[in-house]
């Protein structure tokens, strides 16, 4: 099939690239001329494992192209994907201005039999409004469907190619047949493609993300309780997770969730409920717990140093909100860095992918951007860990201790075993577990 994918952000670029890898003729469209020219030259604007190679291969083989021109790509397209951003507005609702601009731009160029698919995460009812607006602009009933994405940053290509399920909201058999045919190569392992109303598919996206966010906030609240009562959250988590009704996924305590999806989607669902005179008590609580949890390392640091961190040097491992991405949106590291800067501490940071994004935000307020993990702990008073990158999991603790001025670690991701840190002579704070205090005798 011939596809036009409008928007080359995270969702649009992964979607277009993966569909081209399945043999489709895909044109990705973006208003940003510099980004488009960069993509033509193999410059990928985001970090996602495996994406760069996939873009280059399919571009070189002629299945994937890039343009700024809707008029160039849409007239021949069997399917037009809308995959532009829907950022959170000041009210908490999704900002749909980019979606409406795309609808207005594509209307004069749509084939009568083309299917317009909304891939962007949008509030319930948006698909119907897209349908109405296209009818008004074209003078005919257009085929408009919904196909929400369920991609995790860091594993987006596998999530696309090997989905748990594909959710499609359709109004007619034409759209259903096209989407079934398009997704057929992804469903050879008997994973389902679920057809439902556009409204149900839109709500499915929000409900799924909100449920996962709820699990994260719940286990973090139990972790905080564990610290107070002397329990070990890892034991509690294992005891819970073996209950098949609960499971282990997203049941890991830490510094909460971040990124572009969970925070925005939980708040958008909250906003939608409020506009319908419903009381979104659970969603509000999920968001409040998460915002509070993001600064849990700050509270531990503040308590350990009794509020006096001025002049102390902090090594910081991990800046992205999660491993295998350079995304720092709503990352817990931001709360920590802001606190340390305001308090007058010195800061040395390391992250495999996110340092340039942090540099763009904080500049020389960060004292040193380090090329390797050990450089970031040279002479520091303590180490703070925000992101569970694999390269942080198994350090040589003897070497680590020798590098540090003081053997103090604040671990927001529970990377290390308490007994090992105790034997190595560290003071160690983690999440939902007892603190380890170095023997100073």
**Does 243 count as an annotated binding residue?**
no
**Does 121 count as an annotated binding residue?**
yes
In DSSP notation, 209-232 reads HHHHHHHHHHHHHHHHHHHHHT--
Q: What is the pLDDT of residues 361-402, one digit of tens each?
A: 999 999 999 999 999 999 999 999 999 999 999 999 999 999
Q: What is the pLDDT of residues 179-199, one digit of tens each?
A: 999 999 999 888 999 999 999
**Does 125 count as an annotated binding residue?**
no
Known active-site residue 168: no
Which stretches within 230-344 are classed as H helix? 233-241, 262-275, 281-294, 296-304, 332-343
Q: Output the pLDDT for position 441.
A: 46
d(CA 79, CA 22) in angstroms, rounded, equals: 15
| Three-state secondary-structure class, residue 136 | helix
Q: Output the pLDDT for position 190.
A: 83
d(CA 279, CA 229) in angstroms, rounded, equals: 32
Q: Output the pLDDT for position 332.
A: 96
Q: Output the pLDDT for position 440.
A: 59
> What are the φ/ψ torsions at residue 116 (nearest 5 degrees)?
-95, 125
CATH class for the region spanning 206-293: mainly alpha
d(CA 369, CA 355) in angstroms, rounded, equals: 7
**Does 264 count as an annotated binding residue?**
yes
pLDDT of 178 strictly over 60: yes
295-429 has the same fold as 2-196: yes
In this prediction, what percent of the chain has a pLDDT beyond 90? 94
**Does 63 count as an annotated binding residue?**
no
pTM of the predicted model as reported, rounded to 2 decimal places: 0.92
Q: What is the pLDDT of residues 48-89, one digit of tens each?
A: 999 999 999 999 999 999 999 999 999 999 999 999 999 888
Contact 345, 334 (CB under 8 A): no
In DSSP notation, 86-109 reads --B-TTSSB--HHHHHHHHHHGGG
In this prediction, residue 324 has a pLDDT band, given cuts at 50, 70 and 90, of: very high
pLDDT of 357 strictly over 50: yes
Annotate 124-156 with b (16+ C-beta within 10 A) or e (fewer): bebbbbbbebbeeeeeeebbbbbbbbbbebbeb
CATH class for the region spanning 2-196: alpha beta
Q: What is the pLDDT of residues 392-433, one digit of tens each?
A: 999 999 999 999 999 999 999 999 999 999 999 999 999 999
**Does 251 count as an annotated binding residue?**
yes
pLDDT of 114 strictly over 70: yes
**Does 173 count as an annotated binding residue?**
no
Which stretches within 351-405 are classed as H helix? 355-362, 397-403
Q: Which CATH number fits domain 295-429: 3.40.50.720, 3.90.1150.10, 3.30.43.10, 3.10.20.30?
A: 3.40.50.720
**Does 169 count as an annotated binding residue?**
no
In this prediction, residue 257 has a pLDDT band, given cuts at 50, 70 and 90, of: very high
Cβ-in-10-Å burial (0-12, 13-18, 19+) of 308 comes to exposed
Contact 84, 12 (CB under 8 A): yes
pLDDT of 172 strictly over 70: yes
Q: Output the pLDDT for position 290.
A: 97
Short-list 418, 430, 421, CA closest to 385: 430
pLDDT of 170 strictly over 60: yes
Once rounded to an integer, what is the mean pLDDT over residues 94-109? 96
Annotated active-site residue in 168, 261, 370, 382: 261
Contact 175, 115 (CB under 8 A): yes
Average pLDDT, the chain: 95
Dihedral of alpha carbons 204, 322, 8, 271, sign: positive
**Does 49 count as an annotated binding residue?**
no
Written as six digits, the tokens of 192 are 């389902």
pLDDT of 265 strictly over 60: yes
pLDDT of 177 strictly over 90: yes
- What residue spans define the domains of the chain? 2-196, 206-293, 295-429
Contact 80, 117 (CB under 8 A): yes
Q: What is the pLDDT of residues 275-323, one digit of tens each?
A: 999 999 999 999 999 999 999 999 999 999 999 999 999 999 999 999 9
Once rounded to an integer, what is the mean pLDDT over residues 153-167? 95
Cβ of 30: how many Cβ atoms within 10 Å?
22
Once rounded to an integer, what is the mean pLDDT over residues 6-27? 96
> What are the φ/ψ torsions at residue 324 (nearest 5 degrees)?
65, 30
Once rounded to an integer, what is the mean pLDDT over residues 120-141? 96
């Amino acid at each position: 099939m011939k596809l036009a994918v409008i928007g080359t952000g995270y969702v649009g670029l992964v979607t277009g690239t993966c569909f081209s890898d399945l043999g489709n003729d895909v044109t990705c469209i973006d208003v940003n001329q510099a980004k488009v020219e960069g993509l033509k030259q193999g410059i990928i604007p985001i970090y996602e494992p495996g994406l760069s190679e996939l873009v280059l291969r399919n571009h070189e083989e002629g299945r994937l192209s890039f343009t700024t021109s809707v008029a160039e790509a849409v007239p021949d397209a069997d399917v037009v994907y809308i995959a532009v951003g829907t950022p959170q507005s000041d009210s908490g609702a999704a900002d749909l201005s980019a979606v409406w601009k795309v609808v207005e731009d594509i209307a004069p160029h749509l084939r009568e039999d083309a299917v317009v698919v909304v891939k962007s995460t949008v509030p319930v009812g948006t698909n119907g409004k897209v349908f109405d607006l296209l009818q008004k602009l074209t003078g005919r009933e257009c085929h408009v469907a919904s196909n929400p994405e369920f991609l995790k940053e860091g594993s987006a290509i596998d999530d696309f190619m090997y989905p748990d399920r594909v959710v499609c909201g359709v109004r007619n058999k034409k759209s259903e047949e096209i989407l079934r045919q398009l997704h057929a190569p992804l469903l050879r392992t008997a994973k389902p493609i679920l057809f439902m109303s556009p409204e149900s598919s839109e709500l499915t996206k929000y409900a799924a993300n909100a449920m996962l966010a709820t699990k994260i906030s719940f286990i973090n609240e139990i972790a905080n309780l564990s610290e107070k009562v002397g329990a070990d959250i890892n034991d509690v988590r294992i005891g819970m997770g073996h209950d098949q009704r609960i499971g282990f996924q997203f049941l890991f305590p830490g510094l909460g969730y971040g990124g572009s999806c969970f925070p925005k989607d939980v708040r958008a669902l909250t906003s939608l409920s409020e506009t319908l005179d419903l009381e979104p008590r659970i969603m509000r609580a999920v968001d409040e717990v998460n915002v509070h949890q993001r600064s849990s390392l700050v509270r531990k640091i503040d308590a350990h140093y009794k509020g006096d961190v001025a002049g102390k040097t902090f090594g910081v491992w991990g800046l992205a909100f999660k491993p295998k991405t350079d995304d720092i949106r709503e990352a817990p590291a931001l709360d920590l860095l802001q606190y340390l800067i305001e308090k007058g501490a010195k800061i040395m940071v390391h992250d495999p992918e996110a340092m340039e994004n942090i540099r763009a935000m904080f500049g020389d307020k960060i004292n040193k951007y380090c090329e390797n993990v050990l450089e970031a702990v040279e002479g520091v008073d303590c180490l703070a860990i925000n992101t569970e990158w694999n390269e942080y999991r198994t350090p040589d603790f003897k070497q680590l201790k020798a590098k540090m001025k003081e053997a103090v670690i604040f671990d927001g991701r529970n990377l290390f075993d308490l007994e090992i840190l105790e034997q190595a002579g560290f003071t160690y704070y983690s999440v939902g577990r007892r603190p380890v205090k170095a023997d100073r005798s």
